[in-house]
Structure 1
Amino acid sequence: MARVDARGTTRILATLPAPADGGAHPPALDAPMATGIVRTSDGTVYVLYAAGTADLTGLWRIRPGGAPRRIAALPADGVPNGLALDPQAKRLYIADSVLGTIWTVPVAGGTPTAWSTAPELASTGFLGANGAKVHDGALWVTNLDRGTLLRIPIRADNRAGTPQVKASGLAGIDDIAFTGTGDELLAAVNAPNRVVRVRSDGAVSTVLVAGDGLQNPTSVAVRGREVYVLSAAFFTAADPNLLRARLGGRR
C-alpha cells in the first residue's frame, strides 16, 4: 500500500506478505494481487488480498503506524476484488470476481457471510462481480464480463434484495465512484481504456480516454470536484499511473 501526496511523491506504507509458494497465484490472475481498498475516518485502511493461498487470501486491516493483519479469511479459489464500506452499519462488502459472490463482514473482522450469489454476479469466463460501492441504501456492483452496473438493495437485517441492472453495454467495467449528484457515477472501463459517466437514467457518455493518459484504468475516486483515476496498464504494459481531473472539465 502506498500514499501519494499532492506533489505526486509516493511513499510505501505497508507491504502484504508474499505466499510461501512463490508460484502461487489466484484463478484468472498471473500473480497474487492486492485489490479493493477503503479507508475509514480514523485512518484505518482495509485492503483485499487475492493471494491464491488459504493462509493469506482475505480482508486485511492496516491501522495508522501498524502492521498489516488479516481479519477475515476468504476462499483461496476466488478473487476478492471490489471492497465497499457501509460506515453506518460498520460493515464491509466484498465482491468476488471468480466465485460470483458478494461477501459481507463487520469492520471488526470475523467469518464472512455470503450476502448474495445472484446469477447476475457470475462471470462468463474471466471476471464477474468487480467494483462495489454502498450508496443510498443499496450496494452497487459492476460485472466486468457482462458489462453491467447492478444495484442491489440492502434490506432490513442486512438481507440482499434482487439485483437491478442500471446500465449495460460496458464490457470491461471495473471500479465506480459516485459524483454526488443523485445516482450519477463515474466508472473505469479497463481494456477499452475509458472512464465513463453513467447518469441516473442509465445514459452513458465517455469523459476520459487514452489520449488523456489512461492506461487500462482500474479504479476511480471522487473528492469534491476532483477525480482521481488509477491505471494499472494490465494490457498496454506501459506507464501505470495516477491521473487527476475535475468534474465538469479536464486538466
Structure 2
Amino acid sequence: MPRLPYLAGIAATAVALGVLASAPASGDEPIVSQPRVVAHFDFAAGETPENIALEPDGSADLTFAFARQVANVTRHGNIRGRVTLPAVAHPNTPIIHNAIVLGIARAHDGTLYVNYATGTSKTGIWRIAPDGSKPKQIAQLPTNGLPNGLALDEHRGVLYAADSVRGIVWRVPVTGGERTAWATANALGPVPSKTGFGANGIKVHDHAVWVSNTDRGTLLRIPVRRNGSAGRLETQATGLEGIDDFAFTSRHADTVLAAVNGTNQVVVVRPGGTHSVVLTQQDGISNPTSVAVHDRRVYVPSAAYFATEPDPNLLLARLNRR
C-alpha cells in the first residue's frame, strides 16, 4: 500500500503520536482475551485512527488523523458516518507540518469535541453537534502547540487538552471561550533529545486529571482541587517510554490499559506502577494509538505508521477482570 506524501517523514510523524517505546515489564496474567480485528481502514486515504470515544450502543467514534475526519464505526466494522474538519491553507503544525485531528471526547447528549492541530488560527477545540452538522471551533489554542489528548469533565463543565509540544494541560469551558493553562510542569514537557513530545493522552478519573508523557515514559495524576485548580502532580508509573493514550478498566479502579505505539503493544498498568504486556502485534494491533473500555469490551485503534504493509484497524477484545 503506498504511503501518503505527507507521511514521507514518517519517523517524526509517528513520534508525535507516541512512539520509540521501550518494552514494558511482563509477567502478569493478561486481563484481556479473544482479540479480533473488526475493521480495516485505508492508510492511503489518511484513515489513521488516532483517538476514540464510545457511543452507548458500543460503536466507536474515531478520529482519522490525516483525513481530518471523525467517523462512527460499528462493532461489526461498518462506517456509518463521517464529519470532516475544514481544510487549512499552508498548515504548519509543529513536527507534523500537516493539519491533523487528534483527541476526541463525547458528552452524554452525543456532542463530540475534538482537537484540531494546524499551526494556524484553526488550532484548537472543535465541537460537533449530535446531528453531525458542520463542526464549529469553540476555543483557539496556540498555533505553536500540538493539542493531542482531550478529556471532558461534564460535572465541572470543562475540557482538558494535553499539549504535547508545550507541555501544558489547557482547560476550556464546554461552552467555549478563553483557554487557561491549567497545569504546567517539567514533568509534562517533552525531552528535546528524544522525540520532542511530552503530554499526550489524558483522562478525567476519580477527582483527578491523568496524563501520559510519551518522551518521559510516565503516567501522571493531577488532583483537581475543590475550586477547580490543579493540585500537586503525582507520578503513578514510569518505564513506559512511548506511551500514547490510555483508558481505565473501570470507573472505580486505578488500573489502566495503555497503548504503546512503537512496540505494537497494549500494556496493563496497575496501582503502584507495575506494568505488563497484554496485547501484541500478533493479536492484530499495529502502532496502537489509544484504548477505550465499555462494559467487558476493550477497543484498540491502530494507525500502522511504521508497518511495512500498513493496515490501520480497530481491534476489539474481551475484558476478563478489572
Moved more, 75-84 or 233-242: 233-242
Instruction: Read off the aligned partner of 1:225 and give its amino acid letter.
Output: R
Structure 1 residue aligned with 2:291: 220
2:277 is the alignment partner of 1:206: yes
2:188 aligned partner, one-letter code: L
Q: Which residue of structure 1 lines up, in the alignment, with residue 87 of structure 2?
A: 18
1:34 aligns with 2:101: yes
The yes-or-no answer on 1:242 pairing with 2:314 is yes
- TM superposition shift of 1:30: 4.2
Matched residue of 2:84: which SS? coil
Q: 2:157 aligns to what?
A: 90
Greater length-normalized contact order (CA 8 Å, ≥ 6 residues apart): 2
Letter in 1 for 2:73: V
SS of residue paired to 1:218: coil
What's the RMSD between the two structures over aligned residues?
Answer: 1.2
Aligned-partner Cα distance in 1 for 2:256–2:295: 13
For 1:53, the equivalent position in structure 2 comes to 120
Equivalent of 1:113 in 150, 157, 180: 180
Q: Is the 8 Å Cα contact of residues 28 and 127 (structure 1) preserved in structure 2?
A: no
Measured after TM superposition, the shift of residue 220 of structure 1 is 0.6
- Measure, in 2, the Cα distance between the counterparts of 1:63 and 1:13: 13
> 2 CA distance for matches of 1:149 and 1:101?
15
In structure 2, what is the equivalent of residue 191 of structure 1?
A: 262
Alpha-carbon distance, 1:248 to partner: 2.4
What residue number does 1:132 align with?
Answer: 202
Per the normalisation by structure 1, the TM-score is 0.95
Residue 230 of structure 2 aligns with an amino acid whose one-letter code is: A
What is the one-letter code of the residue matched to 2:314? L
Moved beyond 4 Å, runs of 4+ = none
Q: Secondary structure at the match of 2:227?
A: helix
Counterpart residue type for residue 186 of structure 1? L
Give the CA deviation at 1:215. Answer: 0.8
* CA displacement at 1:156 relative to structure 2: 2.2
Residue identity matched to 2:278: V
1:230–1:241 contact (8 Å) kept in structure 2: yes
Aligned to 1:146: 216
CA distance in 2, matches of 1:159, 1:5: 38
Range moving further from structure 2, 232-241 or 197-206: 232-241
Equivalent residue, structure 1, for 2:143: 76
> Is residue 2:72 matched to residue 1:3?
yes
Instruction: State the Cα deviation string for residues 127-181 of structure 1 (Å, max 9, x = none).
Output: 1000000000110000001000000111121111121110111111011100015
For residues 178-200 of structure 1, the C-alpha deviation after alignment (integer angstroms, 9 at most, x for no partner) is: 00151011000111111000111
Segments of 5+ residues of structure 1 without an aligned counterpart are none
Mapped to 2, the partners of 1:196 and 1:87 lie a distance apart of 28
CA distance in 2, matches of 1:234, 1:99: 23
Identity %: 54
Query: Aligned AA for 2:85?
Result: L
Unaligned runs of 5+ in 2: 1-69
* 2:239 is equivalent to residue 169 of structure 1: yes
Distance 2:80 2:88 in 1: 23
State the alpha-carbon separation in 2 of the partners of residues 142 and 78 from structure 1.
17
Does structure 1 residue 62 correspond to structure 2 residue 128?
Answer: yes
Name the counterpart of 2:7.
none
Aligned-partner Cα distance in 2 for 1:153–1:124? 24
Distance between the aligned counterparts of 2:80 and 2:143, measured in 1? 29
Alpha-carbon separation, structure 1, partners of 2:166 and 2:283:
34
| SS state at 1:161 partner | coil
Secondary structure of residue in 2 paired with 1:211: helix
